[in-house]
Amino acid sequence: MAWPGTVPALNVTDRYTESPGDASYHTETDAGPGKERPRPDKPNTRLTFSQLYNTTQVDDLLTYYFTTLNNGSATFVENHPRTGVSSTFKFAGPPTFQHVGQQKYTAAFVLELLP
């Protein structure tokens, strides 16, 4: 599946953040410093977005999330906003919206970049 054409593309804005996943396992010990060892799998990177949408784009994003992606459980393919490379993503949770005036909303959501 692809990102819907009726919703603004994933863009790097002043509210965009990218957090690489922790690549180590951390274990507490009875005494002294804890132990760390590398993970055998690649952890998911989380991308956080906050973008301005109009009412129609909010409705389209909600339809995409709940219907097309089956309540956000399915993955989709889109260009990575920073690198431009085609990548597979999954929503980390439902998007949230804050009204900012005259049919404009700030849409906030977190995506996981899958390996």
Domain coordinates in residue numbering, the chain: 17-113
**β-bridge mates for residue 18, sequence order:** 47
> What does the DSSP assignment read for 36-63?
EEE-SSPPPEEEEEEEEEEHHHHHHHHH
Per-residue pLDDT of 45-81, as tens digits, reads 999 999 999 999 999 999 999 999 999 999 999 999 9
pTM as predicted? 0.80
Rounded mean pLDDT, 15-40: 74
**Furthest C-alpha separation in the chain:** 59
CA atoms of 5 and 90, how far apart (whole Å): 17
Q: What is the pLDDT of residue 53?
A: 95
Cα 72–chain centre separation: 11
Phi, psi of 58 (to 5 degrees): -60, -50
Q: What is the pLDDT of residue 29?
A: 78
CB 81 within 8 A of CB 17: no
Q: What is the pLDDT of residue 14?
A: 76
pLDDT at 104 over 90: yes
Q: What is the pLDDT of residue 15?
A: 84
